[in-house]
Amino acid sequence: MRRVSCIDIGTNTALLLIADLEPESGSIIPLLHRQTIVRLGEGVDERKLISAEAIRRLAACMQEYRRLSEEHGAEAVIACGTSALRDAANRDEVIEEVGQKTGIGIACLSGEEEAELTFFGAVAGMSDLPDSFLVIDIGGGSTEISMGSINCLEESISMDIGSVRLTERFFRSQPPSADEFEAARNEINRVLTGCIIPFFEARESVYGVAGTLTTLAQVSLGLKGFDAAKVQHYRLSYAEVDRLLEHFGSCSLGEIVAEGIPEGRADVIVMGTLILHQFMRLLGVAEVRVSIQGLRFGLAQKELLRLQQP
């Protein structure tokens, strides 16, 4: 058995998983979950640079995750960055500075690598999976759609439409104006219609990961705080996503926060919901099954497979 810490550094949120890996049984046994909104990608879409303040927030988060890893006896810390790091011209400097301050090395994943790890991580440990299924990962900077089976990834795409990126690009107010909303929807449709055709064959079985999906499940369940056991496997219907989009689209930021959505998520939930809504509408998806797993579970599974090698 080997205990590891797996860290997913996204555009909006940094996620930590500490888990025991058991090569003999092929099991990933989660011990601790943490999420911290660091908004690493703040302004990156416009300036292509990660700001000094965002680096400070990330370093502070990684110091805390290092402390938790040591406290729980993790033998290794595996950390990866995604869209914000990919886009930032100063990514090497960010990785070096955080490494010097925290001792954590960060690998910058390509969109294809992110999609593959998220695909397998989303369903890690699940049984009775269909022969073919989709995974959608709506992040702060990008959205990945992947298709395949438990044994093989067949098709994947990474698109630069994320909740933080498009909120910064299109919304100037909350609630957004009708013109702002329409411009964002048109951009999402333009990107999606250019690449979703290969995914139609697996639209009957769709799993969704990341903060937009888990937050919508939380609200749909009537929860004021996140409950992993209740959110995991929740079936989010198109009708419910449509209702929530209309609801959030007419709320002030304060009203959204009052529903139990953290401030670092509240200002981008409308855009995240819009991306999910258009994905489901254009592909004809009736429901998405929510998974609290994702990239960090994919990192754990990759390490588990390495340990199983003779």
Q: Would 34 be classed as within a structural domain?
A: yes
Q: What is the pLDDT of residues 219-263, one digit of tens each?
A: 999 988 888 889 999 999 999 999 999 999 999 999 999 988 888
Q: Would 232 be classed as within a structural domain?
A: yes
**Do residues 88 and 201 both lie within one domain?**
no
* Domain span at 265: 126-290
Q: Would 306 be classed as within a structural domain?
A: no
**Do residues 38 and 182 both lie within one domain?**
no
**Do residues 169 and 239 both lie within one domain?**
yes
Q: Which residue has the higher pLDDT, 178 or 307?
A: 178
Of the residues 88, 111, 134, the one at which a domain ends: 111
**Do residues 257 and 176 both lie within one domain?**
yes
Query: How many Å apart are CA 103 and CA 218, to the nearest integer?
Result: 35
Q: Would 188 be classed as within a structural domain?
A: yes
Q: What is the pLDDT of residues 173-229, one digit of tens each?
A: 889 999 999 999 999 999 999 999 999 999 999 999 998 999 999 999 998 888 888
- pTM: predicted TM-score of the whole model, two decimal places: 0.89
Task: Give Cβ neighbours of residue 160 (< 8 Å, ≥ 6 apart).
Answer: 83, 141, 142, 191
**Do residues 176 and 281 both lie within one domain?**
yes
**Do residues 142 and 213 both lie within one domain?**
yes
Q: Would 183 be classed as within a structural domain?
A: yes
Q: Would 121 be classed as within a structural domain?
A: no
**Do residues 245 and 275 both lie within one domain?**
yes
**Do residues 38 and 134 both lie within one domain?**
no
**Could you give the C-alpha distances from 118 to 16, 103, 219, 266, in angstroms and in order?**
14, 25, 24, 24
Q: Give pLDDT, residue 264.
A: 83
Of the residues 111, 143, 159, the one at which a domain ends: 111
Burial (0-12, 13-18, 19+ Cβ within 10 Å), 267: buried
Q: Give pLDDT, residue 14.
A: 95
Task: Give Cβ neighbours of residue 50 (< 8 Å, ≥ 6 apart).
Answer: 40, 41, 44, 84, 85, 88, 90, 91, 94
Of the residues 57, 80, 111, the one at which a domain ends: 111
Q: What is the pLDDT of residues 25-76, one digit of tens each?
A: 889 999 999 999 999 988 888 899 999 999 999 999 999 999 999 999 999 9
**Do residues 264 and 215 both lie within one domain?**
yes
* Count of domains forming the chain: 2
Going across the sheet that includes 2-9, the strands are: 27-37, 13-22, 2-9, 76-81, 106-108
CATH of the domain at 60: 3.30.420.40
Q: Which helix (H) or strand (E) holds 18?
A: strand 13-22
Asked if residues 300 and 19 have their Cβ atoms less than 8 Å apart, the reply is: yes
CATH of the domain at 226: 3.30.420.150
